[in-house]
Amino acid sequence: MNTLLFFAGLKEAIGTDEVRLAAAGMTLGEVKEKVRSEYSLDQVNNCMMAVNEEFAPEDTTITEGDTIAFIPPVSGG
Protein backbone atom coordinates (compact mmCIF):
# COMPACT_ATOMS: atom_id res chain seq x y z
CA MET A 1 0.00 0.00 0.00
CA ASN A 2 0.95 3.61 -0.41
CA THR A 3 0.11 6.75 1.54
CA LEU A 4 -1.00 9.93 -0.20
CA LEU A 5 -0.54 13.16 1.78
CA PHE A 6 -2.48 16.40 1.20
CA PHE A 7 -1.79 19.84 2.61
CA ALA A 8 -3.23 23.33 2.92
CA GLY A 9 -6.05 24.16 0.50
CA LEU A 10 -5.92 20.73 -1.13
CA LYS A 11 -6.35 19.02 2.25
CA GLU A 12 -9.43 21.15 2.92
CA ALA A 13 -10.89 20.47 -0.52
CA ILE A 14 -10.42 16.71 -0.22
CA GLY A 15 -11.49 16.66 3.42
CA THR A 16 -8.58 14.60 4.76
CA ASP A 17 -4.82 14.86 5.05
CA GLU A 18 -4.13 11.23 4.21
CA VAL A 19 -5.47 8.57 1.83
CA ARG A 20 -4.29 4.98 1.37
CA LEU A 21 -3.94 3.72 -2.19
CA ALA A 22 -2.37 0.68 -3.84
CA ALA A 23 -0.24 2.67 -6.29
CA ALA A 24 2.77 0.40 -6.82
CA GLY A 25 3.56 0.22 -10.55
CA MET A 26 1.72 3.44 -11.37
CA THR A 27 3.62 6.55 -12.35
CA LEU A 28 3.43 9.65 -10.18
CA GLY A 29 1.58 11.39 -13.03
CA GLU A 30 -1.03 8.61 -13.07
CA VAL A 31 -1.55 8.93 -9.32
CA LYS A 32 -1.98 12.67 -9.74
CA GLU A 33 -4.53 12.19 -12.51
CA LYS A 34 -6.42 9.57 -10.48
CA VAL A 35 -6.79 11.96 -7.56
CA ARG A 36 -7.72 14.84 -9.86
CA SER A 37 -10.53 12.87 -11.52
CA GLU A 38 -11.75 11.08 -8.40
CA TYR A 39 -12.24 14.32 -6.49
CA SER A 40 -12.92 16.52 -9.54
CA LEU A 41 -10.22 18.87 -8.31
CA ASP A 42 -8.32 20.80 -10.94
CA GLN A 43 -6.21 22.40 -8.21
CA VAL A 44 -4.32 19.08 -8.17
CA ASN A 45 -2.77 20.24 -11.45
CA ASN A 46 -1.01 23.09 -9.62
CA CYS A 47 0.69 20.74 -7.18
CA MET A 48 4.31 19.77 -7.12
CA MET A 49 4.76 16.10 -6.29
CA ALA A 50 7.08 14.46 -3.81
CA VAL A 51 7.94 10.82 -3.18
CA ASN A 52 9.41 9.93 0.21
CA GLU A 53 10.03 13.61 1.06
CA GLU A 54 11.83 14.52 -2.18
CA PHE A 55 10.40 16.30 -5.22
CA ALA A 56 10.04 13.84 -8.08
CA PRO A 57 9.13 14.06 -11.77
CA GLU A 58 5.81 12.69 -12.95
CA ASP A 59 7.34 9.73 -14.82
CA THR A 60 8.61 8.31 -11.51
CA THR A 61 7.31 4.77 -10.95
CA ILE A 62 5.78 4.22 -7.53
CA THR A 63 6.97 1.26 -5.50
CA GLU A 64 5.35 -0.52 -2.56
CA GLY A 65 5.43 1.58 0.62
CA ASP A 66 6.27 4.90 -1.05
CA THR A 67 4.75 8.00 0.52
CA ILE A 68 3.40 10.38 -2.09
CA ALA A 69 2.83 14.02 -1.19
CA PHE A 70 0.80 16.58 -3.10
CA ILE A 71 2.51 19.94 -2.57
CA PRO A 72 0.26 22.92 -3.40
CA PRO A 73 1.99 26.22 -4.22
CA VAL A 74 4.11 26.97 -1.17
CA SER A 75 3.99 30.24 0.77
CA GLY A 76 6.51 30.08 3.58
CA GLY A 77 8.57 32.99 4.80
Partner 1 sequence: MEQQCWITTEPLEIEEVTKRVIRREAGAVNTFIGTVREFTKGKRTLFLQYETYKEMAEKKLEQITKEIEQQWPSAEVAIAHRIGRLEITDIAVIIAVSTPHRNDSYEASRYAIERIKEIVPIWKKEHWEDGEEWIGDQKEVRPGVPLKEEIK
Query: Shortest gap between Cβ of 27 and partner 1 (angstroms)?
Result: 11
Query: Shortest gap between Cβ of 71 and partner 1 (angstroms)?
Result: 5
Closest CB to partner 1 among residues 13, 21 = 13
DSSP string for 26-44? SBHHHHHHHHHHHHT-GGG
Beta strands at 48-51 and 2-5: parallel, antiparallel or unpaired: unpaired
Q: Is 21 in the site for partner 1 (CB under 8 A)?
A: no
Query: Shortest gap between Cβ of 1 and partner 1 (angstroms)?
Result: 19
- Cβ atoms of 23 and 52 closer than 8 Å: no
Here's the x/- map for partner 1, 27-66, by CB under 8 A: it reads as: -xx--x-------------xxxxx--xxxxxx--------
* Calpha distance 52→67 (Å, rounded): 5
